[in-house]
Amino acid sequence: MIPGVLTVAGSDSGGGAGIQADLKTMLALGVHGMSVITAVTAQNSIGVQGAWELPVEAVRAQYRSVVDDIGVQAVKTGMLSSAELVETVAELIAGTDAPAVVDPVGVSKHGDALLAPSALDSVRTALLPVATVATPNLDEVAHLTGVRVESEDDLRRAAEAVLAYGPRWAVIKGGHLAGDAVDLLTDGSQEHWLRAPRHDNRHTHGTGCTLASAIASQLAKGQTVPEAVMAAKEYVTGAIAAGFALGAGIGPVHHGWNLG
């Protein structure tokens, strides 16, 4: 039986991130992807031109429709733009017997805000506590915890601050640091330092969504958290290396690079 993974996220009309990136990743990794759309964006390679949040009732109905009939082996969250949406999705995840990967999306690759400042506290107090794995980048760590990472030495301090909000595991993504792309995975007791060479490729739109979806896909297939994150890191590194130009700005990673 093919495992099912549910993404709860916004739609990216350009196809590089969001729901579209999530579903491509899930297909590439051999799981059945399903979706709860939380927002519709007008988005392309140069930025986000508009975003429209869906009503909470629509988000709840989509989630219940999938979970109550088909069932899920993992859940992944992305763009949840308001406190009401964050709290609703956290409640739904808490009632679902499946691991949850929380990507606390704050801004787009182009710097466009995707999370209302008023929703930050709901992410801290409602969403992170129900996460099996949280996957913040360095900007998201700073907004959520106040910890600013300037070097690899700061990654451990950032992880401690994120774990204090309740996720079982945290992946602190150090891709914005100089040198190799280094991430720290920890549950507060064991640590896994994940290193990959930095590819000279600016077409990296969708990396965060892709990594979180890859982790959820591997968890759905029965892997442990360290196994899932290591496999996801390898997959996203290959997708970045194969990223391609699209439009006039930053192109997407190549989600099907591993399919030949």
Catalytic residue from among 41, 204, 210, 237: 204
Catalytic residue from among 24, 173, 221, 233: 173
Q: H-type helices in the chain, by residue range? A: 18-28, 56-69, 83-94, 120-122, 138-145, 155-163, 207-220, 225-241
Catalytic residue from among 208, 238, 243, 251: 208
Catalytic residue from among 7, 88, 145, 207: 207
Catalytic residue from among 16, 33, 175, 206: 206
Catalytic residue from among 209, 233, 237, 251: 209
Amino acid letter for position 37: I
Which has the closest alpha carbon to 168: 141, 132, 136?
A: 132
Q: Is residue 33 flagged as an active site residue?
A: no
Q: Is residue 16 flagged as an active site residue?
A: no
Q: Is residue 207 flagged as an active site residue?
A: yes
Q: State the residue for tokens 């182009």.
A: 110
Q: Is residue 204 flagged as an active site residue?
A: yes
Q: Is residue 208 flagged as an active site residue?
A: yes
Question: Is residue 198 a contact partner of residue 235, using CB atoms and an 8 Å limit?
Answer: no
Which has the closest alpha carbon to 93: 216, 210, 180, 197?
A: 216
Q: Is residue 125 flagged as an active site residue?
A: no
239-259 as b/e, with b when 16 or more CB fall inside 10 Å? bbebbeebeebbbbbbbebee
Q: Active-site positions?
A: 173, 204, 206-209
